[in-house]
Amino acid sequence: MRLTWYVSPTTVVRQPYKQNQQKTAKLRVWLFFYVILPCYYNEMIKRFCFIWMVLLAVVGAKAQNDTVVSSASGEVCEKALSVELTSSNLPIVVIETDGGVDIPDEPKVLGTMKIIWHQDGSRNYLTDINTPQYLNYNGRIGIETRGNTSQDLPKKPYGLTTLQADNVTNNNVSILGMPKENDWVLNALAFDQTGMRDVLAYELSESIGQYAPRRVYCEVMVNGDYKGLYVFMEKIKVDNNRVNIEKMDSLCNNYPEVTGGFIVKADRRDGDDPVAWSMMGNDFWEWSYQNYFFHSYPKPENITDAQHEYIKSVFFDFDAEAESHNESIVDGYPSIIDIPSFIDFMMIAEYTSNVDVYNLSTFFHKDRNGKLRAGPVWDYNLSFGYDEFGDRSQYDVWQFYNGSNDGSRFWTNLVFNCPTFRCYFAKRWYELTAIGQPFNYLSIEERIDYYDSLISEAVVRDNHRWWKMLQHDKYVAEMKDWIQLRIGWLNENVGPCQDCAEVEVPPLVISKINYHPQDEDSIDGDRLEFIEITNNGDAVVDLTGVYFRELGISYAFPVGSSIEGHETLMLCSDSLAFISYYNSVPFGQFTRNLPNKSQNLVLADAWGNVIDEVCYFNGAPWPIEADGGGAYLELIDLNSDNSLAENWNAVIGVDEYAYNSSLRVYPNPSTDDIWIVFEAEDLDANEISIYDLMGRKVFAQRCEMHQGQNDIVFQPNLNAGVYVLRIGEHTQKIVRY
């Protein structure tokens, strides 16, 4: 058939789209069941399956691009017209590569990027390209195409780095209101006619308290060519404002440095990065047994053997405990993973019925001395009932157990075979779908309508350029209908939560916070930080499993530790500095430092139930004297709401614990016997205890005191290091060679 041009000012639509779509769908189904599925059964030719998946996408793209017509006349067009962009309600990103070269997969090519953004919300005009007050960014970049299947489409996704003028040094800048960084992504919204599936999923994650890449819709031009509607967004990366975990280097090979931070990704094994390890999946099919994991941070070329073995062991220990359904907070899977992050990750995955999740594009992270956490969410273009390569995003299945991209078996074990996890999973579902909550249909419908309005004019221009979102309105309406069906099915299948509906938590209160101490003589102020916790009840509280839940600092109380009624304990950033300066022995040492600006301190039990929560801030209405002014925050009344700034005072000086100089330890440092000399009337105890600087008891010996006795000799079996010796209320620092 001869194809002719037709130019019309009206929005174009695909007249024969439905017939082409039906043919394409049949071909895809035939390829899947008669080519791809048999390939997976044969381990030797698994690697060719992805090629066939790409062919499916190409077939679909070809069928959609062959014939387009005007909605007014029905005449056929061969391809889209070029688009002249003059203004937009969205920011305009203008990229010019040096010499006008094409942008390759890699390496990155150099160029210049300007972002036109009227921050008052008014319209953005291309004529402002040289008006400094409207340029959110005007500088150098390195840019490449990115993605797997999406990279083969005509509309390319990009990865870019903001650079300084030397074209080498990274330029950490704030773009479109997002925190400063240098690594960014231009998401091309591949296969998504709604243009919002990724954005909705990331927003849902943020709305329930989990980090997701920040993002802003924009329109993009490259070398004078209009490229269409994009999302300018953060790349998943270790950063205090992104994945907030400790950085590592090649020297972090011993405890505690070797424990983090890490970012690990489950994904397909068709890229350049080597597989770190594989894990067993569900037993639906033989080909689904192996799921592949990759080092994202540290990178494969940088990670050491010790670091690799450590983080691999964390995953395999977790898998073993989940497989054995061990729910002990002492040695079961709750002692290894952060339960809330795994539940929230699965909430997003199941709510959206993401096709790729669990097995592909699935991230995990772990901070130093922290628990393994699921997330951040990533790659949700095949979700909310849409699947470009089949029909896998269904409303009436568990996505972790549907025979396709199930992921590792621990996902299924957690929900199907671990009743306490399943209870908390159900409880979270009912919380999030309540009226006014993010997963409630009225809430998600409102967000869909908002984004639909926001991108409406850009969708028209994108269609003129690529003809890829011609059925935008239809897909948006179908997505809304699908979400209602999905919510209904999950309501019927998540199960009850009565057993965990009302959980009693101990009366622990965060009562003092020293987040920005001044430098004192030769001691850096960061080493003098502390958090005081008070047992505001009469009974002894078992602290086993209690930990700080939010990223920023890490601390989990040792198994078997406890606190008496109405007693306090101190956690500090540096035990040696704390002992030296405050003349007191802390209960334990947390990992990393309290931020000088703000930190959400969430004290939780092993299942993530919040015991106490305080989010301090270094400005009004919080007492500003605590921000480097020589004061710390002190809760005025233990029975008040300590989440409110008005209930805190700034206090200068720290009360010292009792310290008795008559207690002498020698030799100190020592390699053999240790002698303790004291005044008999000063000592009332029956045990010698020694703690390491993380607050863990490493030695204990009963001591029988006799009348007139004023010394004790003992020989602890300790490695070289610094320790805290405690007898009753008396403490002393000791050093072993």
Return the percentage of the chain with pLDDT > 90, whole number: 72
In the predicted model, what is the mean pLDDT of residues 540-556?
Answer: 97
At 302-315, the pLDDT tens digits run 999 999 999 999 99
At residue 79, does pLDDT exceed 60?
Answer: no
Looking at per-residue pLDDT, the higher value among 254 and 53 belongs to 254
Q: How confident is the model at residue 729 (pLDDT cuts 50, 70, 90)?
A: low
β-pair type (610-617, 598-604): antiparallel
Comparing CA positions, the residue from 727, 588, 609, 612 lying closest to residue 665 is 727
> Superfamily assignment of 664-736 in CATH?
Immunoglobulins (2.60.40.10)
| Portion of the chain with pLDDT greater than 70, in percent | 84
The tokens of 732 are what? 């002393």
Yes or no: say if 75 and 2 are a contact pair by the CB < 8 Å rule: no
Token pair of 282, please?
């569900």
User: CATH code for 508-652?
Assistant: 2.60.40.1260
- Reported as half-sphere exposure (CB side, CA atoms, 13 A), residue 465 has a value of 22
Cα–Cα dist 271/327, whole Å: 36
Question: Tell me, what's the pLDDT at 564?
Answer: 94
Of the listed ranges 41-55, 264-278, 572-586, 651-665, the least confidently predicted one is 41-55
Task: Note the pLDDT tens digit of each residue in 133-184.
Answer: 999 999 999 999 998 888 889 999 999 999 999 999 999 999 999 999 999 9
Between these two residues, 370 and 580, which has the higher pLDDT value?
370
Using N-to-C axis directions, what is the helix angle for 339-352 and 472-493, rounded to 10°? 130
At residue 272, does pLDDT exceed 90? Answer: no
Residue pair 57/389 in contact (Cβ under 8 Å)? The answer is: yes
Rounded average pLDDT over 332-359: 97
- Who wins on pLDDT, 12 or 144? 144
**Averaged pLDDT, 567-592:** 92
pTM of the model: 0.84
Query: 508-652 and 664-736 share one CATH topology?
Result: yes
pLDDT at residue 704 in the model:
67
pLDDT of the residue at 9: 32
pLDDT at 672: 85
Task: Name the DSSP class of 514.
Answer: E
pLDDT band for 322, please (50, 70, 90 cuts). Answer: very high
- pLDDT tens digits, one per residue of 480-520: 999 999 999 999 999 999 999 999 999 999 999 999 999 98
For residues 599 and 616, give the distance between their C-alpha atoms in angstroms, rounded to a whole number: 6
For position 273, what pLDDT does the model report?
87
Task: Compute φ and ψ for 664, nearest 5 degrees.
Answer: -120, 140
Cross-strand partners of 337: 372
What would the mean pLDDT of 188-201 be, rounded to a whole number?
Answer: 98
pLDDT digits (tens, 9 = 90+) for 515-546: 999 998 889 999 999 999 999 999 999 999 99
3-state secondary structure of 649: strand
Return d(Cα 475, Cα 465) in angstroms, integer.
19
| CB 512, CB 633: distance < 8 Å | yes
Instruction: Output the pLDDT for position 22.
Output: 41
pLDDT band per the 50, 70, 90 thresholds, residue 283: low
Q: What is the predicted pLDDT for the residue at 580? A: 84
Continuous segment of H or E residues that includes residue 295: strand 290-297
Give the pLDDT score at 692: 80
pLDDT confidence of residue 624: 95
Q: Which of 505, 655, 649 is nearest to 570 (CA)?
A: 655
pLDDT at 584: 83
Higher-confidence residue: 675 or 641? Answer: 641
70 against 690, higher pLDDT = 690
What DSSP line would sit under 529-553, residue for residue? -EEEEEE-SSS-EE-TT-EE-STTS
Burial (CB < 10 A; 0-12, 13-18, 19+), residue 714, is middle
pLDDT in tens, 653-682: 765 443 444 567 878 888 888 888 766 554
Pairing label, strands 588-589, 562-563: unpaired
The mean per-residue pLDDT over the stretch 685-714 comes to: 75
pLDDT tens digit sequence for 436-468: 999 999 999 999 999 999 999 999 999 999 999
Q: Is the confidence at residue 301, as pLDDT, over 90?
A: yes
- Whether residue 621 has a cis bond before it, omega within 30° of 0: yes
Q: Are 159 and 234 in contact (CB under 8 A)?
A: no
Q: Which two tokens stand for residue 723?
A: 């320790």
Question: Which two tokens mark 537?
Answer: 């009840």
Q: pLDDT tens digits for 405-427?
A: 789 999 999 999 999 999 999 99
State mean pLDDT over 30-59: 47
Q: How confident is the model at residue 247 (pLDDT cuts 50, 70, 90)?
A: very high
User: 233 with 213: CB under 8 angstroms?
Assistant: yes
Residue scoring higher pLDDT (184 or 576): 184
Domain ranges of the chain: 12-77, 87-234, 257-439+471-496, 508-652, 664-736
pLDDT, position 16: 33
Do 584 and 659 form a contact (C-beta atoms < 8 A)?
yes
pLDDT surpasses 60 at 363: yes
Mean pLDDT of the chain, nearest integer: 87
